[in-house]
């Protein structure tokens, strides 16, 4: 749908598509499904974060209250939070494109 979209538009469209592929018919993810999605689709951003208190807090919240589900908005906030604490973010900031 966004073949001619910008890189940023394509990135957000991809995030929405991945979420939708994992979500239940109501458009939500269980916390266990969310954790699985992060471990399989967001590994490079969460790799090495296991000892950070904020990361542990986020992951432990996914292990608690398993009956609660996560909607797309909460999922995007989760992705942004994990990205901001990621060591990979610093590496990305050091890369300059020539566009």
For the chain, list the domains and their CATH numbers. 7-98 (1.10.238.10)
Residue 3 has pLDDT above 80, yes or no: no
- Cross-strand bridge partners of residue 70: 29
pTM for the predicted model, two decimal places: 0.79
Residue 69 has pLDDT above 60, yes or no: yes
Percentage of the chain modeled with pLDDT above 70: 90
The arithmetic mean of pLDDT across residues 10-21, rounded, is 93
Distance, CA of 84 to CA of 39 (rounded, Å): 17
Residues 6, 14 contacting (CB under 8 angstroms): no
Distance, CA of 24 to CA of 68 (rounded, Å): 13
Distance, CA of 7 to CA of 97 (rounded, Å): 12
Quick one: angle between helices 31-41 and 7-22, nearest 10? Answer: 130
The confidence score (pLDDT) of residue 58 equals: 83
């Amino acid at each position: 749908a966004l073949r001619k979209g910008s890189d940023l538009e394509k990135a957000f469209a991809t995030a929405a598509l991945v979420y939708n592929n994992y979500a239940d018919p109501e458009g939500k993810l269980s916390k266990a499904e969310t954790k699985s999605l992060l471990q399989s689709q967001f590994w490079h951003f969460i790799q090495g974060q296991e000892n950070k208190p904020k990361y542990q807090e986020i992951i432990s919240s996914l292990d608690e209250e398993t009956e609660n589900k996560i909607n797309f908005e909460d999922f995007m906030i989760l992705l942004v939070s994990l990205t901001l604490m990621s060591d990979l973010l610093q590496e990305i900031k050091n890369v300059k494109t020539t566009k």
